[in-house]
Amino acid sequence: MYEHLETAKRTENLKRIVVDPVSRVEGHGKVTLMLDENNMVQQARLHIVEFRGFERFIQGRPYWELPVLVQRLCGICPVSHHLAAAKAIDQLVGVDPVNLPVTADKLRRLLHFGQVLQSHALHFFHLSSPDLLFGFESDINKRHIVAVLAEYPDIGVQGVMMRKYGQEVIQTICGKRVHGTGAIPGGMNKSLSTVERDNLLQNIDQIIDWSISSVELIKKVHCSNLPYYDDFATIRSNYLGLIKPDGALELYHGGIRAKNDKGETIIDHVDYCRYNSYIHEEVRSWTYMKFPYLLSLGQQNGWYRVGPLARVNNCDFINTPMAEAARLEFKAHSGEAMVHSTLAFHWARLIETLHCAESIKALLNDPDILGQDLLTQGEKRYEGIGVIEAPRGTLFHHYQIDENDIVTKANLIVSTTSNNMAMNESVRQVAAEYLSGRELTEPLLNNLEVAIRAYDPCLSCATHAVGKMPLQLELIDAEGNLIDKLIKHGNGQVERNCVS
Amino acid sequence: MSKTITIDGKTIPFEEGQTIMDAASAAGVYIPHLCHHPDYSPHGSCKLCNVSVNGRICSSCTFPAMDGQTVLSDTHELNEDRRRITQMLFVEGNHLCPGCEKSGNCQLQAVGYHLNMLDNHFPHFYASREMDASHPDVLIDHNRCIFCTLCVRASQQADGKDVFAISGRGINKHLIVNSQSGLLKDTDFEATDNAAHICPTGAILAKRQGFRVPIGRRTYDHKEIDQVSLAESGYRPNTTLIAETEQSQYDE
C-alpha cells in the first residue's frame, strides 16, 4: 500500500528528519523520514537500533534455565516469555500441554491473565492515554502520565491500580512482581494457598468495574471522532494468533489461526509445533528486527498483524460475558468482517483487559486452583516448541537440546517482530497522508509515534537478527562512479560484484 | 579455669585444638567465609575470614585459638577488605545471579549481601569458561567456580574418592576433573556424593532441579548468611521462637 516509501528512489538532496528515540514504547527505536524540497515524504522507516541477541547466548545453557533466562528479555511481559519457554521445555521432559496437571495448567493461565492485564493497563494508561486524552498534537509538556493524573485523576489512578493488581497476581504465583520463578519443566514450583487466593479475590470486582469503564472510555474516545480514528495509520492486513478449539479468544494455548483482510481463513487450528511450515522470516539491512510472513502468501503479501486487534478480529467469540458483549459492539462499529483501524488496537486491548479480569475471577473461584498436584514428567525429547499469546501478540519459542541437556539451537519470534511490517506500513501511511507536504514540527511528528504506540511494540524483545543482517559495501570514486561492490546476503553468503 | 580469647571485645571460651573460627562459631560469632566448612579440614584460601590477632592479620579458619588472644573481626577495615575480595570473585567468573538457579541458596551471593556489596567495583573479566554437562545427573558450570576446593576436599575426605583438583596458578587457576578425558562422566562421581552438594556457588549442581524451590522458601530468603552459617556449625541460639514464626508464614 505504502511500500514505495520504504526506500526512496534517490536520496540526494533529501532532507532527513529523525525521531529518536520513539518515546513511550518499550525499548529503543527511531523513525527516519526523507523529505524533498517541497516537504513531500520520499522515505519513511521505523528502525530498531538496539541489539539483544538472546537466541545466541542461551545456546550452551542447560534447558531448565530457559524460562528464567529468557524472561529477562523484557521487564514488561517477562511472564509471557517465561511461559512460552516453559511450554517448550515441558516438551523436552516429554510433557505435552494436555498432560500438564490441571492445577499447574490453571496456575499458569492465572499467571498469564495477570501478566496481560498489567501490561495492557500499563500501555493504555501510562503510555497511550496522554495522546488519547489530550490529543495527538497536544503540548509535549502534557503528554505523560503525570499530566493525566493531574487532569483526570480518576482515570490515572485506575490505570495505576489495575496494573498493580496484575503485578500482585504475578507476585503471588512467582514470588516477585518482575522476574520471579514459577513454571518449571512439567509444571509449577508452588501451589496457591487459600490465604493468597482470598487476598486476590478481595479486589477483583473493583478491577472488573474499572475494566468495564476503560472499555467505555476508549469507545467514547474512538467514536467521538470516528472517521479520523478509523483512518489514522490504518492499513488492511492479514491477522494471526492462537485460538481455542471452539474458536474462542485464547491467550495461553491453542492452534494457529490466520485470516486475511476480508476475514477469510488462511490457516486454522494449525498445531504450532509446525509453525516452520507456515511462517518464515526475512531480514532487511536497515533494522535489527526481522520481517515474518506467511509462506503461502509469500514475502510481498504474507505479512500479518498480531496482538489484541488480531486476536479480537480472529476469534469467533470470547468466553467471558462482559468482554463478549464488548467484542460484539466493537465488531459492529466498522461494519466489516475485520476491523483494520490501527487505533482500534487500543479498543481491542481494553476488551482483552476486561476478559483477563473476568477470567482471573473465574479461575480464583475454581477449586482446582488450590490443588497440590503440580508436576509431571514423561520421556525426554530433544526439541521443544512453546507458543503463547503475549500481550503484544503471538510469541514463538523454539529450542533444541543435546544428549547432555544443553541448548544447541534457539529461535524466538517475538510478537513485535510480527508487527514489524505493519508498523512500518502505518508509519508510511501517516507520513504520506498526514505529514507529507507540511512543515514538520514536534507535535506533527508525534503522529508517527502515536501510530507506532498503537501496536504497543516491545522493541527490546524483538531484536535478535545476529549474523543474518545483509550488508552491502560500495566503493565509490571521487567522481561518484561505483568501482566495487561487496554484498553479504542474509544466509551469510558473500558475493563480490565487480562493476566495470 | 577454661581458656578464652576475645573477639571484638567479647570473651569467648575455646577448647585446645580449636581454630579461632571454630571457637567463634561455637560461641555464636559469625566470621564471613566461603572456603571453610565445619565438616572438612580448613583450607585458608578465600581470605574472607581474615581477622586481626594481636595486631596480625591471619585466616581465622586455620589459625589456632590461644589463650588471651585479642581478635578483631567485625571492623570497618576488615569488612572493607572482605567486600573487595568478594567483588574480585564476582568479576573473575561469571556470577550472573538473575539467571542462576543457585540464586537465593548461594553463599557467594549471601556473603555479598551480608557485606553490603552494592556493585562489582572492578571491571568484569568476562571469562570464557567451558561447561561440563557430560555427567547424566550433575552439571559443572566453571563460570561460577571460586576455587574454594570444598568439592576437592569433600570428594577425598567424605566420599573416599578423588574426583576434583585445582590446577594452574594465579589467574590461570581452574577446577579440573581427575579423569583421562577430563570429563565428569568418566569418573566414579555420583549425584549422591557429598561433593555434589557442597559447592557454595552454582558451579556444581544436580541436573534438572533448577528453580524447584520457589522464591520465599530458599535458604537466604528470610535469613542472613550469619544465621544460616552458625546454625550449620551447630550453634543453637535461644531464638527458635522467631525462626518458627518466620517459617509458619510460608507454610500456609
d(CA B163, CA B189): 7
Question: What is the model's pLDDT at position A439?
Answer: 80
d(CA A176, CA A181): 8
Q: Are B210 and A64 in contact (CB under 8 A)?
A: yes
CA proximity to A290, closest of A456, A68, A51: A51
Question: What is the model's pLDDT at position A212?
Answer: 97
d(CA A412, CA A180): 21
Chain A CB contacts of B102 under 8 Å are none
Portion of chain B with pLDDT greater than 70, in percent: 93
Find the mean pLDDT for residues A392-399: 95
CA proximity to B162, closest of B183, B149, B178, B146: B178
Total domains present in chain B: 2
Residue B33 belongs to a domain with what CATH number? 3.10.20.740
Best to test chain B binding among A65, A375, A377 (most B CBs inside 10 Å): A65
d(CA A43, CA A150): 39
Residues B191 and B119 in one domain: yes
Q: What is the mean pLDDT of chain A?
A: 89
d(CA A262, CA A331): 13
Question: What is the model's pLDDT at position B180?
Answer: 96
Q: b/e string for A420-453 if b means 16 or more Cβ within 10 A? A: bbbbbbbbbbbbbebbbeeebeeeebbbbbbbbb
d(CA A223, CA A405): 54
Best to test chain A binding among B141, B142, B212, B249 (most A CBs inside 10 Å): B212
Q: Are B75 and B29 in contact (CB under 8 A)?
A: no
d(CA B110, CA B229): 11
Residue in A with minimal Cα distance to B251: A193
Q: Is the minimum CB–CB distance between A377 and chain B shorter than 8 Å?
A: no
pLDDT at B252 over 60: no
The rounded radius of gyration (Å) of the Cα atoms in chain A is: 23
Window from A282-296, A405-419, B24-38 with minimum mean pLDDT: A282-296
Highest mean pLDDT among A23-27, A36-40, A302-306: A302-306
Compute CA distances A22 → A46, A346, A395, whole Å.
9, 18, 23
Question: What is the model's pLDDT at position A466?
Answer: 43
CA proximity to A359, closest of A404, A400, A322: A322
Question: What is the model's pLDDT at position B99?
Answer: 92
Question: What is the model's pLDDT at position A67?
Answer: 96
User: DSSP 3-state assignment of B165?
Assistant: strand
d(CA B110, CA B231): 15
Residue B103 belongs to a domain with what CATH number? 3.30.70.20
Q: Is the minimum CB–CB distance between A64 and chain B shorter than 8 Å?
A: yes
Question: What is the model's pLDDT at position A23?
Answer: 72
d(CA B67, CA B54): 12
d(CA A317, CA A319): 6
Task: Give the model's confidence band at B245: pLDDT under 50 very low, under 70 low, under 90 confident, else very high.
Answer: very low
State the cell numbers at B110. Answer: 549471601
The string of pLDDT tens digits covering residues B137-169 is 999 999 999 999 999 999 999 999 999 999 999
pLDDT at A147 over 90: no
Residues B108 and B54 in one domain: no
Find the mean pLDDT for residues A81-92: 97
State the cell numbers at A131. Answer: 495522546
d(CA A374, CA A101): 6
Question: What is the model's pLDDT at position A468?
Answer: 45
Instruction: Tell me the CB-side half-sphere exposure of residue B25, using CA atoms within 13 A.
Output: 22
Question: Is the dihedral angle over the CA atoms B217, B221, B226, B227 positive or is it negative?
Answer: negative
Q: Are B156 and B192 in contact (CB under 8 A)?
A: no
The string of pLDDT tens digits covering residues A101-126 is 999 999 999 999 999 999 999 999 98
The string of pLDDT tens digits covering residues B44-69 is 999 999 999 999 999 999 999 999 99
Compute CA distances B79 → A156, B82, B111, B117, B119, whole Å.
47, 5, 11, 10, 15
The rounded radius of gyration (Å) of the Cα atoms in chain B is: 19
CA proximity to B73, closest of B19, B110, B15: B19
CB contact under 8 A, B131 and A60: yes
Q: What is the mean pLDDT of chain B?
A: 92
Portion of chain A with pLDDT greater than 70, in percent: 90
- In degrees and rounded to multiples of 5, residue B201 shows phi and psi of -115, -160
Helix (H) or strand (E) holding B131, with range, is strand B131-132
Query: What is the distance in angstroms between the Cα of B217 and the nearest Cα belonging to chain A?
Result: 10
User: DSSP 3-state assignment of B242?
Assistant: helix
Question: What is the model's pLDDT at position A467?
Answer: 41
Residues B125 and B28 in one domain: no
Residues B70 and B158 in one domain: no
pLDDT at B251 over 70: no
CB contact under 8 A, B211 and A179: no
d(CA A80, CA A391): 8
Q: Say which amino acid occupies A499.
A: V
Q: For residue A328, how many other CB atoms are within 10 A of its CB?
A: 11
User: DSSP 3-state assignment of B24?
Assistant: helix
Q: Say which amino acid occupies B25.
A: S
Q: What is the 3-state secondary structure (H, E, C) of chain A?
A: CCHHHCCCCCCCCCEEEEECCCCCCECCEEEEEEECCCCCEEEEEEEECCCCCHHHHCCCCEHHHHHHHHHHHCCCCHHHHHHHHHHHHHHHCCCCHHHCCHHHHHHHHHHHHHHHHHHHHHHHHHHHHHHHHHCCCCCHHHCCHHHHHHHCHHHHHHHHHHHHHHHHHHHHHHCCCCCCCCEECCEECCCCCHHHHHHHHHHHHHHHHHHHHHHHHHHHHHHHCHHHHHHCCCCCCEEEEEECCCCEECCCCCEEEEECCCCCEEEEEECHHHHHHCEEEECCCCCCCCEEEEHHHHHHHCCEECCHHHHHHHCCECCCHHHHHHHHHHHHHHCCCCCCCCCHHHHHHHHHHHHHHHHHHHHHCCHHHHCCCCECCCCCCCEEEEEEEECCEEEEEEEEECCCCEEEEEEEECHHHHCHHHHHHHHHHHHHHHHCCCCCCHHHHHHHHHHHHHCCCEHHHHCCCCCCCCEEEEEECCCCCEEEEEEECCCCCEEEEECC
pLDDT at A473 over 80: no
Residues B65 and B119 in one domain: no
CA proximity to B90, closest of B108, B64, B78, B113: B108
Task: Give the model's confidence band at A301: pLDDT under 50 very low, under 70 low, under 90 confident, else very high.
Answer: very high
CB contact under 8 A, A175 and B212: no
Question: What is the model's pLDDT at position A84?
Answer: 97
- In degrees and rounded to multiples of 5, residue A287 shows phi and psi of -150, 150
The string of pLDDT tens digits covering residues B209-239 is 999 999 999 999 999 999 999 998 888 766 4
Task: Give the model's confidence band at A470: pLDDT under 50 very low, under 70 low, under 90 confident, else very high.
Answer: very low
User: DSSP 3-state assignment of B196?
Assistant: helix
Q: Is the minimum CB–CB distance between A478 and chain B shorter than 8 Å?
A: no
Indicate whether B251 belongs to any domain.
no
Task: Give the model's confidence band at B204: pLDDT under 50 very low, under 70 low, under 90 confident, else very high.
Answer: very high
d(CA B117, CA B125): 18
Residues B100 and B15 in one domain: no
**Range(s) for CATH 1.10.645.10 in chain A?**
54-423
CB contact under 8 A, A72 and B98: yes
Best to test chain A binding among B97, B183, B215, B218 (most A CBs inside 10 Å): B215
CB contact under 8 A, B208 and A65: no
Residues B100 and B202 in one domain: yes
Q: Say which amino acid occupies A143.
A: R
Residues B69 and B126 in one domain: no
Q: Is the minimum CB–CB distance between A175 and chain B shorter than 8 Å?
A: yes
The string of pLDDT tens digits covering residues A481-497 is 666 665 655 555 666 65
Select the residue of A60, A64, A72 nearest B211 (Cβ to Cβ).
A64
Q: At what angle do helices A153-174 and A344-364 cross, to 10 degrees?
A: 50
Question: What is the model's pLDDT at position B132?
Answer: 97
Query: What is the distance in angstroms between the Cα of A349 and the nearest Cα belonging to chain B?
Result: 31
Q: Domain residues for B112? A: 95-206
Compute CA distances B77 → B55, B80, B120, whole Å.
13, 5, 18
pLDDT at A469 over 60: no
Greater confidence (A157 vs A141) lies with A157
State the cell numbers at B54. Answer: 594481636
Question: What is the model's pLDDT at position B32?
Answer: 98
Q: Are B205 and B104 in contact (CB under 8 A)?
A: no
Window from A163-167, A287-291, B242-246 with minimum mean pLDDT: B242-246
pLDDT at B240 over 70: no
pLDDT at A363 over 70: yes
Question: What is the model's pLDDT at position A32?
Answer: 85
Task: Give the model's confidence band at A57: pLDDT under 50 very low, under 70 low, under 90 confident, else very high.
Answer: confident
Task: Give the angle subtended at the CA of A459 by the CAs of A70 and A143, to the nearest 5°.
Answer: 130
Q: Show which residues on chain B lie within 8 Å of chain A, measured between beta carbons.
A: 98-99, 101, 131, 133-134, 139, 207-217, 252
The hierarchical CATH code for the domain A54-423 is 1.10.645.10
Residues B99 and B184 in one domain: yes
Residues paired with B59 in a beta bridge: B50
Question: What is the model's pLDDT at position B242?
Answer: 43
d(CA B100, CA A108): 22
